[in-house]
Amino acid sequence: MDEFLARVRAAARRKETMAEAIPSVQTPDFVLDFANYRATRDEREVRLTPTEWRLLAALAATPGHLVTHTELLRAAWGPSYGRESNYLRVYANQLRRKLEPDPGHPRYLVNEPGIGYRFMV
pLDDT, one tens digit per residue, over 29-39 is: 999 999 899 99
pLDDT at 12: 64
| Domains defined along the chain, listed by start | 2-119 (1.10.10.10)
**For range 87-109, the mean pLDDT:** 96
pLDDT at 80: 79
pLDDT, one tens digit per residue, over 52-87 is: 999 999 999 999 999 999 999 988 888 877 778 888
pLDDT at 121: 87
Residues shown for the chain: 121
**Element at 31 (helix H, strand E):** strand 30-33
pLDDT at 32: 96
Phi and psi at residue 63, in whole multiples of 5°? -60, 135
Q: Which 3 state secondary structure label does DSSP give 92?
A: helix
